[in-house]
């Protein structure tokens, strides 16, 4: 199959049939466009007040007019980097003995077309008008907190590490927010308790890192108060502005206690007996010092977490399933030892390929069954100005055995991480991970140890170097070489992106609390591309590139090869289209199961192509469509997938997805299909209903997950969750494999 001509014709058609030429942004002329690296960093002074502010979304208190303001020229990051924002924005900051207050007026010439994709916490920020603020409260240029608000008052909050490389949306902070909309502006009024933020309670004045961010969705426009290059985000703290005037800040105890209580019922043909339970548990967060936090958990429960999305595996390697549990996601960046993926840098790999520590291995079996967690502790924070440390200890209970089911031994998990932060966002670190069976004899207990050193170095603003060396040790090694190494370099300028990667993974390298997709290989990857900004005929950016990827055995024989020219096109309205053409080679040293078919040993060469289109996410009806096809080992494959999202307003959304794979493989024709539907309804920013239904044609199972969530107080929830796994195989005696319902309530007590 050689579809190169259709791809070229399709690309030319897209480039020549765009919408009307985009208008040049205002402000062109003297001094523009500016260089975001060399422009001076702005500063804002906070004003101390004696009386608190009424948080109602209306900036009508007289004290607001007395505060310093950020009014001035905000600079676009996109679509016209370095040019003035198309709409002005004014932000003021006040504080008293307990809270920080943020008041923002976002002028807008068309407030009737503000886009709000949802009311839920951590809403879909790329598809929304929003105002964001980032605090580097230690002023170390490395870590901090981000808050973003849409015009309906929904809050996105996150913790960031490593100068913006790692972002953790699972972090939650207490904040009171109200918004309002007028004919020419929308307003944000926000109160953040100082107990929510971590900072040094030193005597005298403090200086924090600070940046503001604004998205005007209908213009596909992002702008910042302290501008940064396109490849970075607002939490690039080494380039932030400053917040001044803070003095006499409180020395909070920073103790949060969060108990929970639940009642549940679980039955189905996979359950020997109907299981009913009532349980209680506890999470504790204690700021031991301003820079060190201890988290404790007892009888840990994650019954409210959304079920995994099903995946079709058309490869011969393990699939990656992400962590979704808040306890493990919080401060995850401290424990990141993995293949590096950096926004807007093409690195050729990601954390979905390798992680020395993957918390999902704790409390979940290899078949994704929930294992009971007795409890655990996590200590994270800073020692001095440069060193970041993290320690994690978890203990699971023994499961099964007494009722005829599979027995899983109790296990202890221990993780230690230390990282030294260098200038310019660079860092070096080390990690140790242990998995140990408990409750069995020392001569029979299984164990697994993993350890390594890593480093990431930012040079010249455009160059990122990263490397690691790791090893494992266990009772029964899988192979002779138990080490892994990686070296990677990535360069991105305004026009060019280039990267190269070398990785060696031993046949016996097995991080027992981590993830590695492929063992016993050397990998060589390189890519080169250009991404000029056109900003005409409806096209924002065109990005042709070439990827070359080789895997060899440890002895040097080629095992896999792909040469892939690509063309990505981004439009001014936020849509995009991409074309890929791949020339592939695979050598199987033994018969291998691929998508359930036994493929004989031998060498295989084939070519395939694909096209993908994504509609602007800001539309009421949006989505994506992809089509790929060509040869596949000794047969052929055609894959079609689509996703449609219907969002008529901020209260309701319906997301439908389908994937159809038609395969001819090992002399057999078969299909592998997935279908899913996700419905979300938000009555307001505290009351939510979510329904998620999946059908996996390969396993003939229908999975349903329904969840009601009421936020009855800050960071305090009530959940009602229903989950069912049903078999649709003809003639099955009991179609319900598993069915569970859970009532769970939590309450945050802050001291």
Q: What is the DSSP string of 525-581?
A: EEEEEE--EEEETTEEEEEEEEEEEEEEETTS-EEEEEEEEEEEEEETTS-EEEEEE
Query: In the prediction, which pLDDT does 23 show?
Result: 37
Using alpha carbons, select from 356, 500, 508, 378 the residue that is nearest to residue 435: 356
Query: In the prediction, which pLDDT does 12 show?
Result: 36
**Contact (CB, 8 A) for 739 and 723:** yes
Query: In the prediction, which pLDDT does 110 show?
Result: 93
**Residue 312, pLDDT above cutoff 50:** yes
CB atoms within 10 A of CB 28: 12
Q: pLDDT grade, residue 15 (50/70/90)? A: very low
Rounded distance between C-alpha atoms, residue 13 and residue 736, angstroms:
51
Give bridge partners of residue 690 from the DSSP assignment. Answer: 680, 707
Query: In the prediction, which pLDDT does 33 show?
Result: 85
Q: pLDDT grade, residue 751 (50/70/90)? A: confident
Query: In the prediction, which pLDDT does 24 show?
Result: 41
Q: pLDDT grade, residue 577 (50/70/90)? A: very high
> How far is C-alpha 48 from the geometric centre of its chain's CA atoms?
36
Query: In the prediction, which pLDDT does 732 show?
Result: 65
**Contact (CB, 8 A) for 703 and 632:** no
Query: In the prediction, which pLDDT does 283 show?
Result: 92
Q: Is the peptide bond before 33 cis (omega within 30 degrees of 0)?
A: yes
Q: pLDDT grade, residue 734 (50/70/90)? A: low
Query: b or e along 466-488 (b: 16 or more beta carbons within 10 Å of the residue's beta carbon)?
Result: bbbebbbebeeeeeebbebbbeb
**Residue 687, pLDDT above cutoff 70:** yes
Q: pLDDT grade, residue 253 (50/70/90)? A: low
Using alpha carbons, select from 263, 261, 270, 262 the residue that is nearest to residue 724: 270
Report which of residues 242 and 25 the model is more confident about.
242
Mean pLDDT in residue range 703-711: 95
Query: In the prediction, which pLDDT does 8 show?
Result: 37
Q: pLDDT grade, residue 415 (50/70/90)? A: very high
User: What are the structure tokens assigned to 151, written together?
Assistant: 């015009």
**Residue 18, pLDDT above cutoff 60:** no
**Residue 350, pLDDT above cutoff 90:** no
Rounded distance between C-alpha atoms, residue 110 and residue 217, angstroms:
12
Query: In the prediction, which pLDDT does 211 show?
Result: 94
Give pLDDT tens digits for 521-565: 999 999 999 988 887 888 988 999 999 999 999 999 999 999 999
Query: In the prediction, which pLDDT does 206 show?
Result: 87
Mean pLDDT in residue range 222-247: 89
> Domain residue spans in the chain?
33-247, 315-521
Q: pLDDT grade, residue 22 (50/70/90)? A: very low
**Averaging pLDDT over each range in 21-25, 413-417, 434-438, which range is the top one?**
413-417
Rounded distance between C-alpha atoms, residue 675 and residue 310, angstroms:
9
Q: pLDDT grade, residue 104 (50/70/90)? A: very high
Report which of residues 329 and 187 the model is more confident about.
187
* Multiple choice CATH, 33-247, 2.60.40.10, 1.10.3720.10, 2.30.42.10, 2.60.40.1190: 2.60.40.1190
Q: Would you put residue 268 in left (φ > 0), alpha (ψ -120 to 50) or beta?
A: left
Rounded distance between C-alpha atoms, residue 316 and residue 321, angstroms:
16
**Residue 401, pLDDT above cutoff 70:** no
Using alpha carbons, select from 47, 309, 152 the residue that is nearest to residue 683: 152
Give pLDDT tens digits for 82-101: 999 999 999 999 999 889 99
**Residue 10, pLDDT above cutoff 70:** no
Percent of the chain with pLDDT over 70: 92
Give pLDDT tens digits for 590-608: 888 887 788 899 999 999 9
Query: In the prediction, which pLDDT does 348 show?
Result: 77
Give pLDDT tens digits for 664-680: 988 888 888 999 999 99
Give pLDDT tens digits for 425-471: 789 999 999 999 987 666 677 899 999 999 999 888 788 899 999 99
Query: In the prediction, which pLDDT does 3 show?
Result: 40
Mean pLDDT in residue range 384-388: 85
Report which of residues 303 and 7 the model is more confident about.
303
DSSP for 212-272 reads EEEEEGGGTEEEESS---TTS-TT-GGG-EEEEEEES------EEEEEEEEEEEEESTTSS
Q: pLDDT grade, residue 71 (50/70/90)? A: low
Which uninterrupted H or E stretch holds 731? none
Mean pLDDT in residue range 711-721: 93
Mean pLDDT in residue range 669-695: 93
Query: CA torsion sign, 198 to 200 to 204 to 206?
Result: negative
Rounded distance between C-alpha atoms, residue 570 and residue 9, angstroms:
17
Report which of residues 10 and 357 the model is more confident about.
357
Q: pLDDT grade, residue 659 (50/70/90)? A: very high
Mean pLDDT in residue range 287-291: 80
**Residue 2, pLDDT above cutoff 60:** no
Mean pLDDT in residue range 3-17: 37
Could you say which DSSP state residue 10 is in?
H
In the chain the first and final C-alpha atoms are separated, in Å, by 66
Rounded distance between C-alpha atoms, residue 328 and residue 404, angstroms:
31
Query: In the prediction, which pLDDT does 572 show?
Result: 85
């Amino acid at each position: 199959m050689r579809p190169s001509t259709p791809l070229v014709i399709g690309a030319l058609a897209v480039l020549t049939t765009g919408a009307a030429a985009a208008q040049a942004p205002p402000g062109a002329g003297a001094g523009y466009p500016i260089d975001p690296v060399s422009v001076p960093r702005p500063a804002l002074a906070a004003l101390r007040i004696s009386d608190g502010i009424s948080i109602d979304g209306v900036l009508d208190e007289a004290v607001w007019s007395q505060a310093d303001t950020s009014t001035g020229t905000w600079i676009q990051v996109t679509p016209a980097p370095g040019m003035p924002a198309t709409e002005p924005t004014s932000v003021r900051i006040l504080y008293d003995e307990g809270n920080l207050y943020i008041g923002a007026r976002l002028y807008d010439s068309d407030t009737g077309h503000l886009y709000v994709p949802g009311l839920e916490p951590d809403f879909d920020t790329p598809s929304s008008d929003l105002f964001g603020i980032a605090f580097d409260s230690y002023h170390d240029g490395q870590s901090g907190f981000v808050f973003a608000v849409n015009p309906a008052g929904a809050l996105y909050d996150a913790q960031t590490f490593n100068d913006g490389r790692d972002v953790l949306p699972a972090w939650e902070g207490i904040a009171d927010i109200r918004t309002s909309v007028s004919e020419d502006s929308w307003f944000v009024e926000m109160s953040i308790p100082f107990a929510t933020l971590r900072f040094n309670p030193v005597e005298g004045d403090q200086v924090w890192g600070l940046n503001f961010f604004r998205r005007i969705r209908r213009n596909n426009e992002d702008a910042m108060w302290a501008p940064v290059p396109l490849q970075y985000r607002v939490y690039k703290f080494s380039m932030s502005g400053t917040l001044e005037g803070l003095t006499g800040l409180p020395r909070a105890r920073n103790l949060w206690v969060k108990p929970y209580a639940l009642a549940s019922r679980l039955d189905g043909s996979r359950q020997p007996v109907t299981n009913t339970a009532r349980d209680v548990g506890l999470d504790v967060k204690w700021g031991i010092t301003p820079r060190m936090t201890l988290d404790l958990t007892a009888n840990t429960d994650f019954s409210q977490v959304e079920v995994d999305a099903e995946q079709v595996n058309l490869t011969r390697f393990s699939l990656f399933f992400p962590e979704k549990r808040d306890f493990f996601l919080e401060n995850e960046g401290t424990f990141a030892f993995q293949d590096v993926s950096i926004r807007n840098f093409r690195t050729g790999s990601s954390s979905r390929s390798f992680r020395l520590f993957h918390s999902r291995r704790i409390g979940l079996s290899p078949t994704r069954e929930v294992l009971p967690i007795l409890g655990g502790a996590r200590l994270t924070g800073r020692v001095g100005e440069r060193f970041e440390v993290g320690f994690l200890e978890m203990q699971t209970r023994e499961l099964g055995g007494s009722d005829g089911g599979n027995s899983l031994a109790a296990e202890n998990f221990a993780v230690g991480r230390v990282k030294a932060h260098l200038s310019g966002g660079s860092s070096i670190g080390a990690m140790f991970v242990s998995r140990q069976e408990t409750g069995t004899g020392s001569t029979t207990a299984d164990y697994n140890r993993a350890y390594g050193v890593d480093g990431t170095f930012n040079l010249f603003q455009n160059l990122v170097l990263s490397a690691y060396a790791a090893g494992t040790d266990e009772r029964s090694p899988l192979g002779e070489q138990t080490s892994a190494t990686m070296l990677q370099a990535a360069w991105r300028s305004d026009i060019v992106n280039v990267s190269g990667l070398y990785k060696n993974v031993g046949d016996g390298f097995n991080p027992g609390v981590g993830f590695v997709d492929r063992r016993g290989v050397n990998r060589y990857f390189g890519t080169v591309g250009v991404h000029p900004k056109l900003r005409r005929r409806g096209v924002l950016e065109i990005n042709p590139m070439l990827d070359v990827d080789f895997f060899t055995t440890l002895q040097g024989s080629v095992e896999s090869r792909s040469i892939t020219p690509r063309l990505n096109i981004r439009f001014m309205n936020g849509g995009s289209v991409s074309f890929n053409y791949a020339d592939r080679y695979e050598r199987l040293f033994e018969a291998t199961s691929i998508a359930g078919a036994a493929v004989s040993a031998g060498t295989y060469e084939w070519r395939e192509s694909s096209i993908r289109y994504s509609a602007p996410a800001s539309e009421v009806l949006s989505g994506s469509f992809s089509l790929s096809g060509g040869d596949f080992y000794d047969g052929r494959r055609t894959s079609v997938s689509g996703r449609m999202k219907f969002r008529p307003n901020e209260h309701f959304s319906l997301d439908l997805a389908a994937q159809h794979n038609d395969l001819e493989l090992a002399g057999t024709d078969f299909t592998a299909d997935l279908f899913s539907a996700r419905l979300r309804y938000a009555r307001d920013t505290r009351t939510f209903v979510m329904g998620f239904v999946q059908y996996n044609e390969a396993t003939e199972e229908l999975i349903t997950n329904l969840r009601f969530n009421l936020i009855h107080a800050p960071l305090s929830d009530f959940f009602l969750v229903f989950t069912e796994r049903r078999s649709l195989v003809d003639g099955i005696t009991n179609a319900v494999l598993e069915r569970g319902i859970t009532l769970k309530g939590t309450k945050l007590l802050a001291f």
